Amino acid sequence: MTHTRRPADTVGQTSFPCPARRRVLAGMGGAAVAAVLAACSSGGEESSPSGGNASDNAGGAGGDVLAATSDVPVGGGVVAGGVVVAQPSDGTFRAYEAACPHQGVLVGPPEDGVITCPAHRSTFSDADGSLIGGPAPQGLTEVPVRVSGGNVVRA
């Protein structure tokens, strides 16, 4: 009986190209990284401080309703629609983009006059959005607002 020997470099190969497991896993890892980066990136919709216009508001108040004034406590606030709405003193409402300037993580609502980023503990004043402390390079970006019909709306 005669044996025909196959060359060593063709042992186990099929007639069609089959990617090595290492390449498949590397490709899957790259896809996972891309998905995570896409999820972590800040969307263009929230980056514009004057994102609303009169046609967006069904009530005709001139801008997007961010919160009811009754939902925003004095010395506190709420986060809604990518915006922090604060009431630093009775009847005074301020709003800021909710994305921390350090890495874009959404900040929490103000407590006792301080807005805090949960990621790296940067802190900001609810009165003017200025940086109090932490790794953020600057304060929060102000969003112009006004009160209309018991609501805080984009100006």
Phi, psi of 119 (to 5 degrees): -75, -55
Residues 109, 107: Cα–Cα separation, whole Å:
7
Residues 34, 52: Cα–Cα separation, whole Å:
30
40-45, long-range: CB < 8 A, 24+ apart? 40/104, 41/104, 42/99, 42/104, 45/82
pLDDT for 151 equals: 98
Task: Give the distance from CA 24 to its chain's centroid.
Answer: 31
When pLDDT is averaged across residues 9-18 and rounded to a whole number, the result is 54
List, for residues 101-132, the tens digit of each pLDDT value: 999 999 999 999 999 999 999 999 999 999 99
pLDDT for 43 equals: 42
Residues 113, 106: Cα–Cα separation, whole Å:
17
User: Could you state, in order of their start, the residue ranges of all structural domains in the chain?
Assistant: 59-154
Is the pTM for the entire model greater than 0.75?
Answer: no
When pLDDT is averaged across residues 78-90 and rounded to a whole number, the result is 97
- Determine whether 34 is exposed, middle or buried from the number of CB atoms within 10 Å of its CB (0-12, 13-18, 19+): exposed
Contact between 130 and 116 (Cβ < 8 Å): no
Q: Which fold has domain 59-154?
A: Rieske Iron-sulfur Protein (2.102.10)
List, for residues 26-82, the tens digit of each pLDDT value: 555 544 444 444 444 444 333 333 333 333 333 444 589 999 999 999 999 999 999
pLDDT for 70 equals: 98
pLDDT for 37 equals: 42
Query: Is pLDDT above 60 for 11?
Result: no
pLDDT for 63 equals: 82
pLDDT for 18 equals: 55
